[in-house]
Structure 1
């Protein structure tokens, strides 16, 4: 099944890189597409808990879903994830 979620704190290609790389490692998740223009992540999932698994990983990385709590800790995590994504792109 395919779905798209809208997330917070998505700023640039560094964020995009980190999100795509991490989500591709999740079991049953494939065809991940991160869109920085509209702050969405689209993916296909094969497991019954695929959406929840992706949502948890996004939040862990600092990119909670729109309407979820976006506290300072999550914002800081997103900056770290972004920096790591930029470093790994170079």
Structure 2
């Protein structure tokens, strides 16, 4: 199944790099595409658990789905994830 998830806090190529690297490590997730212009992540998944896993991983990195809680600590996580993405790119 293919889906696109709108996320919060996606700012740049550093964020994109971190998200792509992390999601490529999730089993059963493939064809990952991160779009910084419209703040979305598109991917294919094999089971509903795959979709939930991706959403949880994104939230842990500081990129919760639109509509989910986005407090100061979540925003701070996204800045750290962004910096790591820029350094490891």
TM range (shorter): over 0.9
Aligned to 1:76: 76
CA distance in 2, matches of 1:24, 1:44: 11
TM-score by length of 2: 0.98
Aligned-residue RMSD, C-alpha: 0.5
**Displacement after TM superposition at 1:48 (Å):** 2.9
Offset at residue 47 of structure 1 (A): 2.2
Q: What is the rounded CA distance, in whole Å, between the counterparts of 1:48 and 1:20 in structure 2? A: 20
1:46 Cα deviation from its structure 2 partner:
1.1
The within-5 A match list for 1:49-88 is 49-88=49-88
Count the aligned residue pairs: 89
- Post-superposition Cα deviations, 1:45-90, rounded to whole Å, max 9, x if no partner, equal 012311100000000000000010000110000000000000001x
Q: Which ranges of 4 or more aligned residues in structure 1 deviate by more than 2 Å?
A: none
Q: Secondary structure at the match of 1:84?
A: helix
* In structure 2, C-alpha distance between the alignment counterparts of 1:27 and 1:74, rounded to whole Å: 25
Give unmatched runs, 5+ long, in structure 1: none
The answer for unaligned runs of 5 or more in structure 2 is none
